[in-house]
Amino acid sequence: MSLEKLKFLNNEQVLQIAEEFGTPVYVYDQKTLIENARKVLSFPNAFGLTARFAMKSSPSLAILKIFAKEGLQIDASSEYEVYRAIKAGIPGHHIQLTAQEYPEDFSRIISEKVFFNACSLEQIRRYGAANKGGDISIRMNPGLGSGSTNRTNVGGPASSFGIWYEALDEALQIAKQYNLTITKLHTHIGSGSDPEVWKKVALMSLAMVEKIPTVHTLNLGGGYKVGRMATEYSTDLQACGEPIKQAFIDFAQKTGRKLKLEVEPGTFLVANAGAILTKVIDKLNTGASGYEFLKVNCGMTEVTRPSLYGAQHPIVVVPKNRQEKSTSEYIVVGHCCESGDILTPAPGDPEALKVRPMLRAEISDIMVVEGSGAYCAGMSTKNYNSFPEVAEVLLDTKGKGQLVRKRQTLDQILQNEIAPRDI
């Protein structure tokens, strides 16, 4: 296996940012974020496109503002994400809420003109009771899914996401009961999905749309595969989208209905636009039959995906104050008192270890964990071992780092705790 390379930083920038802002620290690249947004906004379509950012992947204020400026709207996965987006200056009518947990009170969601995407029959009833006569979207489970792992597959009979396709008629009946107009149908099959499965589900979704004459928009979700490692491939949006564009044209010729397309990627937009800078804090060798370990000052508290999924992130050593050409093979482990805090698991198997070739590392060298823009800061095991949330830096289009999130303090971790009386 060849050595992984830095994606948007150079060695000088890595050392400068680590020195100025400390480690561990997330770094996001504005230039890459903009480039990816424009790729998504160019997704092939026949009769119009709305592109939404799945903000759960990286809900940073800086990223939300960059994408909003480029013209992306928002896919929110909880009412709290809705309000976070609104606080970032995004108008409610540019936000769609698709959530496992329905809001405690729909009144603010409705007053802000947030579009609601019902994920169950009960959610249709709840929304109908709160907004009789309104418009609604319904999320359908088409009976088929695809993801990079079983844990990121959100379609098929083993998934709780969306209304089972065989219950479509019941969903229509409930909507009619509350005088709701179904204007959009939504499917999303998983993160890191197979493009061929995604296209097959798109055609299945069009068949469902044909049964609902009021639908004017089909939302096909996101989940486009992104290659973090050099050996992994990334989805070509143009190649993936052209057959769907033609399917929409064929649907229009058959039915007279020109459907608008929606997509809502997260990983595609941000994964390779982010990295974590961390420091080598220790080394350990377990002998001839063991491993050489590098311990770093980040871990599952900052990037949970390897421990959760066996996900693969490129790791690059940036030597400090020396030139290094020799290589070695390491297991990289995090700073948590947790045997599962491994940054180099075997692919798809968080239980197994796999050595990585990289430049020979010494204590105090900086390591860059690439591909950390998606589902890292937003999906951390926050404050495990009482480690504070780390700082976030935006690398602007001129290559200058700017702090966009302060490092959390211990006092902030403790601020909501209340000591029991008489103790």
pLDDT for 156: 56
Indicate whether 4 belongs to any domain: no
CB-based contacts of 249, cutoff 8 Å, min separation 6: 46
How many angstroms from the chain centroid is the CA of residue 122?
27
Closest to 39 (Cα-Cα) out of 28, 53, 27: 53
pLDDT for 240: 84
Closest to 97 (Cα-Cα) out of 80, 129, 119, 75: 75
Pairwise CA distance, residues 84 & 64, whole Å: 10
Question: Tokens 């692919």, residue?
Answer: 347
Contact 272, 255 (CB under 8 A): no
Are 303 and 175 in the same domain? no
Of 225, 241, 268, the residue that ends a domain is: 268
Indicate whether 420 belongs to any domain: no
Closest to 52 (Cα-Cα) out of 77, 84, 29, 89: 77
Q: How many domains does one find in the chain?
A: 2
Are 245 and 280 in the same domain? no
User: Which pair of structure tokens corresponds to residue 357?
Assistant: 């070739």
CATH code, domain with 362: 2.40.37.10
Q: Give the three-state DSSP class for 8.
A: coil
Element holding 52 (H helix, E strand): strand 49-54
pLDDT for 194: 60
Q: How many CB atoms lie within 10 A of CB 415?
A: 8
DSSP bridge partners of 153: 190
Are 206 and 352 in the same domain? no
CA dihedral 334, 338, 342, 347 (to 10 degrees): -160
Structural domain harbouring 320:
11-26+271-407
pTM for the full model?
0.93
Are 145 and 279 in the same domain? no
Closest to 23 (Cα-Cα) out of 341, 285, 320: 320
Pairwise CA distance, residues 141 & 167, whole Å: 10
Task: Count Cα neighbours of 256 within 13 Å in the Cβ-side half-sphere.
Answer: 2
CATH code, domain with 226: 3.20.20.10
Angle at 398 between CA 395 and CA 403, to 5 degrees: 30
Please report how the helices 237-255 and 195-209 are oriented relative to each other, as an axis angle in degrees rounded to 10.
20
Angle at 335 between CA 332 and CA 341, to 5 degrees: 60
Are 193 and 279 in the same domain? no
Are 258 and 323 in the same domain? no
Indicate whether 422 belongs to any domain: no
Are 168 and 287 in the same domain? no
pLDDT for 151: 40
* Strand stretches in 90-240, DSSP E: 95-97, 115-118, 135-141, 163-164, 181-186, 217-219
User: Which pair of structure tokens corresponds to residue 110?
Assistant: 């409705």
Closest to 75 (Cα-Cα) out of 117, 120, 135, 128: 117
User: Which pair of structure tokens corresponds to residue 393?
Assistant: 């830096």
Are 128 and 228 in the same domain? yes
Pairwise CA distance, residues 289 & 293, whole Å: 13
pLDDT for 318: 98
Are 248 and 329 in the same domain? no
Pairwise CA distance, residues 316 & 9, whole Å: 11
Are 293 and 259 in the same domain? no
Mean pLDDT by 10 residues, the chain (423 residues): 91 98 98 98 97 97 98 97 97 96 91 96 96 96 55 52 90 97 86 61 86 96 89 89 91 96 96 98 92 97 94 96 94 96 94 95 98 95 95 97 98 96 87
